[in-house]
């Protein structure tokens, strides 16, 4: 089985936008891969005029928030480096339990790469207040335009997910093999190469 | 492959069944997020039975156990437990007769016009069938469900669900050819249909029309638009102009062994394109007949305070008190020679002695060299003089105006009109604009007067205008030295004049009647450089002869004749005790004066005014 890889478009986000953007993207992907009985939950983004759908599972929500926190921590520790979140769906193969190990093989059949470029604002010294004014004041209007652009980009990313999900369906495991309502998945944070 | 004939096909009944369910599922998901209906109760069995979902017993993946509820059945078909959609239930039975017929769902923005009858609102859903019998749509009659006339309809979205069968002789090329693997088994098709419906569920929430839907269902505000829908098999294509404004999104087709299922949408890309005008509540209406308005209470209009005539920007007030234009120069347009019965009521509170007790002489004494502020020109100011029984205080330090609890009585008498007085309160009332510590006499009546002026617009016009007032009091300037000066703000010429006649002002305050205050404060602009004492004397004499307005006014004619000593003798406390300012009853008002008397006074004062005007002009010449 081939592993389908989808590189989502890169999004330039502010630090405070990371959580909402990642939640939106991750939940949208998982909703399309939760082929069991789900009660969809509509969620309105606070920063953008976008409504996305969650699969309505508390455990999934918790897991996603946990990974987002890890991502934010990494971004704070390495602000100058681009980080990437990878959402992978796999099948469990060859469960081999031995005396010492319990080998479980994950056969990935789909991977989603979410690329975020977290913008860093230059820190101004406290003494140079006049300089900070020069930086902040013109950015008000630019910030609004950037927000609008980001919303459009985020919407494009969501449509990108929808297109990918509908274009490539053959690699998705059959539903009878589904345990639970959602295919096994994992979220990893890596550094962009 | 043999051509498809209807729903029954050999070799692919399950596929056809799934396709049929996909049609229904698509319709349900679309209308659920576009149709602002009230959800039907889930126990409405009629809708359940009408829902044409087939039995899942033969389906690959759906649960083998058949639920007694079709709603639950639908949920289990596509693993999507979402809310009911009555619109879909109503439409699905009518619209789609064959899988080969496309199902076109138009989402229509309906703009309303006319009155909205929300009280008698009842959903009026009707269904009409076109001539071909292939189109069922929600009736968009002349009135929508609110009973309002539909102004316009605009298709903001068009969803097309179409199943193209594989034609005979087609070897996979052409339209049906694709690199995609076809769903050769119902399992595959079922899985892919679930993915398709998941995508559709997410897509409908990403389009601009969803926001419109959310606004309609969530906002309590009355909107000028509504969302409707139309389900049909045949529609007129969009014009090129319409297509230019719209975007499209085509879902990757779902290939089956028997055909291909295509799902696409054409929509307006921006919510702004959808809603050209913001929703507005009931249009604002200007209420002309408010409580106290001249239209509702025309009688009260007589007692309303006119705007001071000193300012060209002042709004002309309808009626003026008879007192006013006899004494002060007023604009001819504002003169209302016909007293109304209300006048008798309003003036009944005024002491009858006021007419002749008008203290020009006293003011002459007490406010020698001051030009009254412009606001004092209002001839009707005096009619708001609640109590004449007070005397100016000799205290040099004015006390801040005290609140007059009876101010509401004044309002009741003279109208609570918020008539457009052109002058601001500060302009009209030096009392209101002056700092509190600069207000004259520490008598509560003084403060009351000032405060009253500040509180009610009615006082705006209490201040008389005209040079006659100036003359009246200019001569008393020298004799008003005992009265404390009133510091006046210098932001207006009217105020400047006030500062020159502090005693005058204090005298006014001591009278503690707005009707006097206007009289006592001459117009600054009109104050001639040389005012003649004999003219004022004549005026006072005339006032002396005038019948009193109010019997309980304790101010006697002595005040007019020799105001100085009398004023000095009267203490603020005595005035307060006697007058109780505004504590007069309506019966007293009625008994003290009649309309005829008022009219008589009116004529007299008119003559007096003319006389003074002539004298003033002669003096200036």
Confidence category of residue B538, pLDDT binned at 50, 70, 90:
confident
Decide: B320 and B336 in contact? Cβ < 8 Å. Answer: yes
Record: contact A162-B199, CB cut-off 8 A = yes
Nearest CB neighbour to B194, from listed A35, A49, A158: A35
A134 pLDDT higher than 70: no
φ/ψ of residue B569, rounded to 5: -80, -30
pLDDT for B379: 47
pLDDT for A105: 80
Digit-coded pLDDT (tens) for B339-371: 444 444 444 444 444 444 444 444 444 444 444
Record: contact B191-A49, CB cut-off 8 A = no
B491-504: average pLDDT: 44
Q: Does the predicted model carry a pTM greater than 0.90? A: no
Digit-coded pLDDT (tens) for B439-469: 444 444 444 444 443 344 444 444 445 555 5
B169 pLDDT higher than 60: no
Nearest CB neighbour to B191, from listed A39, A42, A175: A175
pLDDT for B549: 72
φ/ψ of residue A168, rounded to 5: -120, 105
pLDDT for B17: 85
B98 to each of B80, B93, B302, B527, how far by Cα in Å? 24, 11, 80, 96
B309 pLDDT higher than 90: no
pLDDT for B301: 53
pLDDT for B215: 86
Inter-axis angle of helices B595-620 and B533-545, nearest 10 = 170
B306-335: average pLDDT: 47
Nearest CB neighbour to A42, from listed B198, B205, B211: B205
Digit-coded pLDDT (tens) for A7-50: 999 999 999 999 999 999 999 999 999 888 888 899 999 999 99
pLDDT for B344: 44
Highest mean pLDDT among A39-48, B39-48, B376-385, B494-503: A39-48
Confidence category of residue A100, pLDDT binned at 50, 70, 90:
low
Q: CB contact, 8 Å: B80 with chain A?
A: yes
Tokens 């009026």 sit on residue: B124
pLDDT for B607: 93
Q: CB contact, 8 Å: B76 with chain A?
A: yes
Determine the Cα–Cα distance for residues B375 and B559; give it in Å rounded to an integer.
Answer: 25
φ/ψ of residue B136, rounded to 5: -115, 135
B574 pLDDT higher than 80: no
Highest mean pLDDT among A122-126, B120-124, B293-297, B390-394: B293-297
B172 pLDDT higher than 60: no
Record: contact A40-B195, CB cut-off 8 A = no
Give B342-345's long-range contacts (Cβ < 8 A, gap of 24+): B342/B299, B342/B300, B342/B301, B342/B302, B342/B303, B343/B302, B343/B303, B343/B595, B343/B598, B344/B589, B344/B590, B344/B592, B344/B593, B344/B594, B344/B595, B344/B597, B344/B598, B345/B303, B345/B413, B345/B586, B345/B589, B345/B590
Q: CB contact, 8 Å: B313 with chain A?
A: no
Digit-coded pLDDT (tens) for B235-249: 888 888 888 888 999
A49-66: average pLDDT: 93
A142-156: average pLDDT: 90
pLDDT for B392: 44
pLDDT for B240: 87
Q: Which residue has the higher pLDDT, B54 or B525?
A: B525
* ipTM score over 0.95, yes or no: no
Digit-coded pLDDT (tens) for B37-74: 644 444 333 333 333 344 444 444 443 333 344 445 45
Comparing CA positions, the residue from B219, B76, B229 lying closest to residue B159 is: B229
Question: Chain A residues within 8 A (CB-CB) of chain B?
Answer: 28, 31-32, 35-40, 42, 49-53, 155, 158-159, 162-163, 165-167, 169-170, 172, 174-176, 181
Digit-coded pLDDT (tens) for B426-436: 444 444 444 44
B85-110: average pLDDT: 74
* Cα dihedral sign, B338-B342-B344-B349: negative
Nearest CB neighbour to A155, from listed B61, B81, B206: B206
Q: Which residue has the higher pLDDT, B561 or B261?
A: B261
pLDDT for A81: 79
């Amino acid at each position: 089985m081939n592993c389908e890889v989808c590189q989502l478009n890169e999004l330039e986000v502010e630090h405070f936008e990371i959580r909402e953007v990642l939640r939106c993207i991750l939940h949208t992907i998982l909703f399309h891969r939760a082929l069991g009985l789900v009660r969809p939950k509509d969620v309105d983004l606070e920063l953008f005029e976008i409504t996305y759908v969650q699969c309505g599972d508390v455990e999934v929500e918790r897991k996603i928030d946990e990974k987002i926190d890890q991502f934010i921590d990494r971004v704070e520790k390495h602000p100058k480096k681009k980080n990437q979140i990878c959402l992978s769906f796999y099948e469990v193969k060859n469960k081999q339990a031995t005396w010492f190990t319990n080998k479980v093989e994950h056969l990935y059949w789909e991977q989603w790469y979410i690329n975020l470029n977290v913008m860093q604002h230059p820190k101004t010294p406290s003494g140079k207040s006049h300089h900070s004014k020069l930086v902040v004041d013109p950015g008000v209007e630019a910030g609004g335009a950037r927000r609008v652009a980001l919303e459009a980009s985020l919407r494009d990313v969501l449509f990108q997910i929808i297109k990918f999900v509908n274009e490539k369906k053959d690699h998705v495991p059959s539903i009878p093999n589904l345990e639970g309502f959602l295919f096994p998945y994992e979220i990893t944070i890596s550094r962009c190469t | 492959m043999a051509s498809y004939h209807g729903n029954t096909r050999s070799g692919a009944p399950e596929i056809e069944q799934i396709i049929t369910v996909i049609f229904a599922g698509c319709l349900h998901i679309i209308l659920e997020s576009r149709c602002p209906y009230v959800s039907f109760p889930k126990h409405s069995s009629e809708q359940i039975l009408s829902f044409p979902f087939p039995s899942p017993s033969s389906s690959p993946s759906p649960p083998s156990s058949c639920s007694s509820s079709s709603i639950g059945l639908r949920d289990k078909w596509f693993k999507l437990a979402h809310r009911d959609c009555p619109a879909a239930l109503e439409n699905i039975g009518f619209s789609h007769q064959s899988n080969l017929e496309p199902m076109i769902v138009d989402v229509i923005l309906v703009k309303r016009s006319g009155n909205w009858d929300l009280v008698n609102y009842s959903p009026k859903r009707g269904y009409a069938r076109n001539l071909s019998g292939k189109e069922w749509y929600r009736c968009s009659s002349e009135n929508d469900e609110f009973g309002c006339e539909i102004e316009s309809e605009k298709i903001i979205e068009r969803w097309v669900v179409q199943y193209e069968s594989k034609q005979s002789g087609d070897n996979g090329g052409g339209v049906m050819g694709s690199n995609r693997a076809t769903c050769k088994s119902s399992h595959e098709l079922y899985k892919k249909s679930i993915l398709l419906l998941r995508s559709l569920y997410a897509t409908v929430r990403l389009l601009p029309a969803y926001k419109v839907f959310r606004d309609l269902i969530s906002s309590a505000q009355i909107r000028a638009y509504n969302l409707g829908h139309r389900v049909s098999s045949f529609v007129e294509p969009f014009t090129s102009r319409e297509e230019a404004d719209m975007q499209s999104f085509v879902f990757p087709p779902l290939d089956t062994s028997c055909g291909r299922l295509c799902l696409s949408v054409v929509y307006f890309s921006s919510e702004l394109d959808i809603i050209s005008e913001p929703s507005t509540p009931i249009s604002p209406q200007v209420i002309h007949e408010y409580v106290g308005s001249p239209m509702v209470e025309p009688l009260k209009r007589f007692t309303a305070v006119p705007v001071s005539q000193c300012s060209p920007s002042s709004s002309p007030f309808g009626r003026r008190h008879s007192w006013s234009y006899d004494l002060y120069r007023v604009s001819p347009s504002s003169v209302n020679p016909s007293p109304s019965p209300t006048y008798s009521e309003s003036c009944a509170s005024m002491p009858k002695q006021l007419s002749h007790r008008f203290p020009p002489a006293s003011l002459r004494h007490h406010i020698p060299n001051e030009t009254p502020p412009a606001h004092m020109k209002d001839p009707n100011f005096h009619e708001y003089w609640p109590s004449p029984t007070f005397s100016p205080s000799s205290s040099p330090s004015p006390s801040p105006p005290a609140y007059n609890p009876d101010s509401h009585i004044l309002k009741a008498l003279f109208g609570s009109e918020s008539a457009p007085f052109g002058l601001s309160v500060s302009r009209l009332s030096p009392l209101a604009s002056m700092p509190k510590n600069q207000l004259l006499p520490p008598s509560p009546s003084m403060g009351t007067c000032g405060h009253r002026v500040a509180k009610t617009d009615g006082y705006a016009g209490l201040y008389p205008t005209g040079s006659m007032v100036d003359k009246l009091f200019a001569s008393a300037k020298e004799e008003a030295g005992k009265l404390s000066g009133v510091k006046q703000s210098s932001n207006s010429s009217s105020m400047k004049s006030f500062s020159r006649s502090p005693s005058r002002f204090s005298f006014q305050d001591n009278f503690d009647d707005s009707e006097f205050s206007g009289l006592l404060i001459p117009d600054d602009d009109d104050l001639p450089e040389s005012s003649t004492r004999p003219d004022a004397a004549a005026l006072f004499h005339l006032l002396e002869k005038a019948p009193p307005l109010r019997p309980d006014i304790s101010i006697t004619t002595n005040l007019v004749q020799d105001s100085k000593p009398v004023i000095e003798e009267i203490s603020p406390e005595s005035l307060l005790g006697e007058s109780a300012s505004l504590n007069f009853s309506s019966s007293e008002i009625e008994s003290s004066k009649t309309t005829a008397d008022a009219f008589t006074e009116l004529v007299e004062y008119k003559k007096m005014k003319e006389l003074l005007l002539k004298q003033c002009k002669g003096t200036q010449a």
